[in-house]
Amino acid sequence: MKIFSPDDENNKKLVDFLKKLGLNSSEIKIVTSTEIEFKKGENVCKQGSFASYIMILKEGWLKSYIENIHFKNTVFKITKPFSIIGLSCLYGDNHYHFGCQAIMPSKVCLVERAVFDNIIRGNNKFASEIIKMYSNSLQNLYDRLNSISNKQSLSKVCDSLIYLSEKIFESEIISPIITRRDIAELSGLATENIVRILAELKTANAISVDKKEITILDMDMLKRFSCFG
């Protein structure tokens, strides 16, 4: 565990993010007072465990997933820096209904739920921004649910690639930090199906694949395939 220093150059972007959410200096000091480092593959929170904290991702990348009784994961969100995790547990039943895992070395600020709640109750602008953030998260969840539940394999994979390109990396390049297994869990498919479909998309010149890196060559084509259902 490390103590957050607002004077550290590496923390300035996080401070700016929190200021944009409406937090003042004393509130920022409170929510950044405890920092935890997680190794790649380490659980940040475990599905079914007691929800003690709201988490603010400072560095790294995380994946949030639902685990079924057969220990198969369905990823519903990739989280990049300057995001808040666990809002669904703030006023829920005190347990995490999802798991969260680091897909690369990551740093997270932990905020006790009661402390986070007190700040929300005393800061209207922050409360409004949190509601917006939570609403956007729900919309993403609905989109992932629609894709996994109602579409065929090719469309599911195209949806996942579009999501990663437009919402996560904001680039035509999907970094190797996202593995084939991650794409499979994001699409609700087996990893071997992902390998086959990526090869088909490569043959169609919709994407290129260089070792583990994927580049979107024709976004319009992916979006047409996505609409096939």
CATH number of the domain at 73, please: 2.60.120.10
β-bridge partners, 213: 210
Entry pTM? 0.85
3-state secondary structure of 124: helix
Instruction: Give a yes or no: residue 1 inside a domain.
Output: no
Spatial distance between the Cα atoms of 62 and 207, rounded to a whole number of angstroms: 24
pLDDT at 59: 95
Pair 194, 220 in one domain: yes
What domain count does the chain have? 2
pLDDT digits (tens, 9 = 90+) for 28-46: 999 999 999 999 999 999 9
Residues in Cβ contact with 63 at an 8 Å cutoff, skipping those fewer than 6 apart: 75, 77, 78, 79, 100, 101, 103, 182, 185
- pLDDT at position 3, please? 47
At residue 11, the pLDDT reads 85
Q: Are residues 111 and 166 in the same domain?
A: no
- Structure tokens, 141: 């969840």
Q: What is the pLDDT of residue 165?
A: 97
Print burial letters for 191-224: b (CB count within 10 Å at least 16), e (below 16).
eebbeebbeebeeeebbeeeeeebebeebebbee
- Do 133 and 164 lie in one domain? The reply is no
Residues 155 and 119 in one domain: no
The neighbour count for residue 46, using CB atoms within 10 Å, is 14
Position 30 scores a pLDDT of 96
Q: Is the dihedral of CA 186, 139, 81, 56 positive or negative?
A: negative
> In whole angstroms, what is the distance from residue 227 CA to residue 229 CA?
5
Residues 142 and 159 in one domain: no
> Residue 12 contacts by C-beta under 8 Å, 6 or more apart in sequence?
none
Residue 165 per-residue DSSP state: I
Whether 218 and 161 map to the same domain: the answer is yes
CATH of the domain at 160: 1.10.10.10
Same domain, 131 and 169: no
Query: Which two tokens mark 187?
Result: 């699409």
For 71, which DSSP code? Answer: S
Domain range for 31 = 6-147
Which positions ≥6 away from 144 have C-beta within 8 Å? 76, 77, 163, 186
150 vs 202: CA distance, rounded Å: 24
pLDDT by position in tens, the chain (length 229): 444 454 566 689 999 999 999 999 999 999 999 999 999 999 999 999 999 999 999 999 999 999 877 668 899 999 999 999 999 888 878 889 999 999 999 999 999 999 999 999 999 999 999 999 999 988 888 888 888 888 999 999 999 999 999 999 999 999 999 999 999 999 999 999 999 999 999 999 999 999 899 999 999 999 999 988 6
The reply to whether 48 and 86 lie within a common domain is yes
Same domain, 37 and 123: yes
Distances (CA, A) of 11 to 5, 16, 58, 87, 112: 7, 9, 8, 22, 20
